Amino acid sequence: MNIEMIRAAAQRLEGKVRRTPLLNSSFVDEIAGRRVWIKAEALQHTGSFKFRGGWSAVSALSPDVRLAGVIAFSSGNHAQGVALAARLHEVPAVIVMPKDAPRLKIENTRALGAEVVLYDRDREDREAIGAALAEARGLSLIKPYDAPEVIAGQGTCGLEIAEQAAAAGIAKADVLVCCGGGGLTSGIALALEQEAPNMRVRPVEPVDFDDVTRSLQTGHRQSNDRSGGSICDAIVTRSPGEMTFPLMRDLCGPGIVVPEENCLRAISVAFTRLKVVLEPGGAIALAAALYHGDQLQGEDVICIASGGNIDTQMFMCALETYPCPQGQPSV
């Protein structure tokens, strides 16, 4: 992996991906006690940054290989990103998804034209299922994070952050990234190392699923005891990727671990103050900025807000249980 791969992915994504805004609200700043900048990737196609990696990987395949179709495994956001990328390339897609994935994500993936194969994440191995289907049908496997072209696509978000931060006069900041297997985190870290070296990337994970944080502490890949059971389903993985972890180990600062309650609070703040809809895993970086400021440094913090694919029931629960605090914005 290198910066040139990210720049090449950016060229392939030109005109296909949305350049998402870097948002700021004085109301949010007041809660956090510093300036908070939100990279609103929930406004990306399919509601998350995953379209970047999906398009990057599918577009990098040779035309004859791509024509046979692609396969991916995902709890929902990577599924939708790959499904849309495949549809736009007019090739078939098969997506392996856990049975307990949010219904909205399963329905959206099917609506994008993909064939959805459901599995039990506690009893079945999604990688084995995906490998078997890929071999039987001649499909190209698009991994959710441990693939160079996927990491490169996610890294284009980092290129945008570098440009937008410079335009906003942000010279130095922690960049908080919602982290599962580490594709987005490592891609952004690699991009910022070259384009904005004063930015420090910090992975953010939910309590009980802090494999990346523990891995960074020990210098070796650590695993979670289980692969499900969190409302932050989009960023729950067993362990960091074999490819992504060395990049995070070399380029990232310490991880931050956030309880689910604070993710729900951040959903309410994002909607009330920014008019951005986030799912729990997509709100976790904002939650770290709002409620874990003692672990941050500097006057500015940048948060990745992605994805926004949340079921109505969960969304209403967040708004009703944790109404956004009222306050006066600073001038």
Q: What percent of the chain has pLDDT over 70?
A: 98
Q: What is residue 116's predicted lDDT score, i.e. its pLDDT?
A: 95
Summarize pLDDT for 3-13 with one digit per residue, the tens.
999 999 999 99
What was the pLDDT predicted at 126? 84
Greater pLDDT, 73 or 51: 51
Backbone phi, psi, residue 89, to 5°: -90, -5
> Is the pLDDT reported for residue 331 higher than 90?
no
Q: What is the pLDDT of residue 75?
A: 77
Task: Tokens 């090449």: give the residue.
Answer: 8
Establish if 328 belongs to a structural domain: no
pLDDT reading at 121 higher than 90: no
Q: What percent of the chain has pLDDT over 90?
A: 87
Is the domain of 163 the same as that of 201? yes
Task: Note whether 21 and 170 are same-domain residues.
Answer: yes
Mean pLDDT of 246-253: 98
Whether the pLDDT of residue 120 is over 50: the answer is: yes
Residue type, 291: Y
From residue 113, give the alpha-carbon distance in Å to each of 61, 127, 143, 305, 307.
20, 22, 19, 26, 20
pLDDT at 228: 80
Q: Would residue 60 count as lying in a domain?
A: yes
For residues 248 and 166, membership in a common domain is answered with yes
Query: Which residues are bridge partners to 141 per DSSP?
Result: 71
**Band of the pLDDT at 323, cuts 50, 70, 90?**
very high
Q: What is the mean pLDDT of residues 218-240?
A: 92
Residue 114 in any domain: the answer is: yes
Same domain, 158 and 282: yes
At 328 the pLDDT is 54
> Which of 141, 171, 201 marks a domain boundary?
141
The DSSP secondary structure of 290-314, one letter per residue, reads HH-GGG--SSEEEEE-------HHH
Amino acid 330: pLDDT: 44
Please indicate, yes or no, if residue 326 is contained in any of the structural domains: no
Of 141, 168, 183, the one marking the end of a domain is 141
State the distance between the two ends of the chain, measured CA to CA, in whole angstroms.
Answer: 43
- Tell whether 29 and 71 lie within a shared domain: no
114 shares a domain with 8: no
Q: CB neighbours of 24 closer than 8 A, spacing ≥ 6? A: 35, 36, 37, 38, 168
Residues 183 and 299 grouped into a single domain? yes
Q: Which of 141, 171, 187 is the last residue of a domain?
A: 141
Whether residues 249 and 187 fall in one domain = yes
The answer to whether position 327 is within a domain reads no
Chain centre to alpha carbon of residue 282: 7
Asked if residue 190 belongs to a domain, the reply is yes
Q: Mind listing the pLDDT tens digit for each residue in 140-163?
A: 999 999 999 999 999 999 999 999
User: Is the distance from CB of 51 to CB of 57 less than 8 angstroms?
Assistant: no
Q: What is the reported pTM?
A: 0.94
107 and 20 in one domain? no
pLDDT at residue 329 tops 60 = no
pLDDT of residue 102: 84
Same domain, 130 and 207: no
Asked which of 223-232, 263-272, 315-324 is least confident by mean pLDDT, the reply is: 223-232
Question: For residue 159, what are the contacts with CB-CB under 8 A and spacing of at least 6?
Answer: 6, 7, 10, 191, 195
Structural domain includes residue 330: no
* CATH number (domain holding residue 28): 3.40.50.1100
pLDDT tens digit sequence for 284-317? 999 999 999 999 999 999 999 999 999 999 999 9
Domain count, the chain: 2
Residue 326 has pLDDT above 70, yes or no: no
Range of 262's domain? 3-49+148-321
Interval 103-118: pLDDT, tens? 888 999 999 999 999 9
Say if 152 falls within a structural domain: yes
Same domain, 210 and 169: yes
**pLDDT score recorded for residue 327:** 60
For residue 269, the surrounding DSSP H or E stretch is helix 260-269
On whether both 289 and 154 belong to a single domain, the answer is yes
- Burial class of residue 15 in the structure, from the number of CB atoms within 10 Å of its CB (0-12 exposed, 13-18 middle, 19+ buried): exposed
DSSP code string of 118-132: EE-TTTS-HHHHHHH
